[in-house]
Amino acid sequence: MATIKQALEKASSLQKISDTWQLDSELLLASAIEKSREYLFTWPERELADTQLRAFQEFCERRSAGEPIAYILGRQSFWDFELKVNPSVLIPRPETELLVETALELLEDAYPGTANILDLGTGSGAIALALAANNDAWQVTAVDSSAQALAVARENAESLQIANIEFVQTSWCDGLEANYYDLVAANPPYVQEGDRHLLEGSLPFEPVSALVAGDGGLADIRTIAEQARHCMQLGAWLLIEHGYEQKLAVAKILADAGYKNIECVLDLAKLDRLTKAQFLS
């Protein structure tokens, strides 16, 4: 038998894998005993059942092997809600909230009523659900080529009771309605094959297809820039998240595809995080 306090003390081995090992251990133990973190602080001398202790030890072993907390817990916070995640989807990053914020800035003034929005490579549905939740009159189409990813996104929509969203399995814009969307958002794969970062942090556990693109990480961005034009209305905006060293390359791709008003948006760390561009002709 072990108390909550003793179990957390034994989890100090997690510091070998994580700078936030104390938080990690608290989250894992709270999940193992199906209580809140506050419960751990309130009842540190409470003894754990054998099944609870085994579950916690198993979680710690997975974390020690490098598996991301989000996959162990099966959930990740994003925007105003928690999303279900599993290894078939990329773990939503806080940096991607900038894409949502930028989209809302463009949409809220221009489309206080109805708007048609497209989210390409939706994964867990993070971007699509954040936009759909903002305005019931906006209709969001969430696209992914992975049936497994779409299953996760649908489950998140049902859990959050967001109805103004439809899910489509296709490759980027293939088969989508022409001249229809007022805004297209995309967080595509943009990591170059063989990039050393793929061996770091949570990336070895995440789906390679959601991370890596050919042509130096630009292949999918190039495809989206070309295809999206055909399903956008005149005046619509395209927002693409990309790597912090890809600003100039992405701007050239968009300019060559005929987009105007091309502008890179910096994240809180002052890194080039996404580029927005307008389809005018």
Q: 6-15, 24-33, 228-237: which has the minimum mean pLDDT?
A: 6-15
Q: What is the pLDDT, as a whole number, of residue 219?
A: 98
The answer as to whether 30 is a domain residue is: yes
Mean pLDDT of 152-167: 99
Q: What is the pLDDT, as a whole number, of residue 107?
A: 95
Q: Are residues 45 and 114 in the same domain?
A: no
Mean pLDDT of 209-218: 96
Phi-psi region of 78 (alpha: psi -120 to 50; beta: other; left: phi over 0): beta
Tens digit of each residue's pLDDT (9 = 90 or more) over 181-200: 999 999 999 999 999 989 88
Q: Are residues 183 and 48 in the same domain?
A: no
Q: Are residues 265 and 142 in the same domain?
A: yes
pLDDT at 1 over 80: no
Q: Are residues 230 and 114 in the same domain?
A: yes
The answer as to whether 250 is a domain residue is: yes
The answer as to whether 58 is a domain residue is: yes
The domain boundary residue, chosen from 33, 66, 99: 66
The answer as to whether 77 is a domain residue is: no
The answer as to whether 80 is a domain residue is: no
Q: What is the pLDDT, as a whole number, of residue 247?
A: 98
pLDDT above 70 covers what percent of the chain? Answer: 100
- pLDDT category, 162, cuts 50, 70, 90? very high
Q: How far apart are CA 249 and CA 215, in angstroms?
A: 11
pLDDT at 82 over 80: yes
Q: Are residues 181 and 98 in the same domain?
A: yes
CATH number reported for the structural domain that contains residue 116 in this entry: 3.40.50.150
The answer as to whether 23 is a domain residue is: yes
Q: Are residues 228 and 145 in the same domain?
A: yes
Q: Are residues 136 and 199 in the same domain?
A: yes
The answer as to whether 181 is a domain residue is: yes
Q: Are residues 96 and 57 in the same domain?
A: no
Q: Are residues 97 and 181 in the same domain?
A: yes
Mean residue pLDDT across the chain: 96
How many domains does the chain divide into? 2
Phi-psi region of 187 (alpha: psi -120 to 50; beta: other; left: phi over 0): beta
Query: Which one, of 192, 181, 183, 261, lies nearest residue 221 by Cα?
Result: 192
Q: What is the pLDDT, as a whole number, of residue 158?
A: 99
The answer as to whether 81 is a domain residue is: no
Tens digit of each residue's pLDDT (9 = 90 or more) over 19-70: 899 999 999 999 999 999 999 999 999 999 999 999 999 999 999 999 999 9
Mean pLDDT of 125-136: 98
> Which residue(s) pair with 144 in the sheet?
169
pLDDT at 171 over 80: yes
Q: Are residues 133 and 51 in the same domain?
A: no
Mean pLDDT of 211-234: 97
The model's pTM is 0.93
Q: Are residues 99 and 58 in the same domain?
A: no
The parent domain of residue 19 ranges over 4-66
Q: What is the pLDDT, as a whole number, of residue 281?
A: 84
pLDDT above 90 covers what percent of the chain? Answer: 92
Tens digit of each residue's pLDDT (9 = 90 or more) over 247-273: 999 999 999 999 999 999 999 999 999
Q: Are residues 208 and 159 in the same domain?
A: yes
CATH number reported for the structural domain that contains residue 21 in this entry: 1.10.8
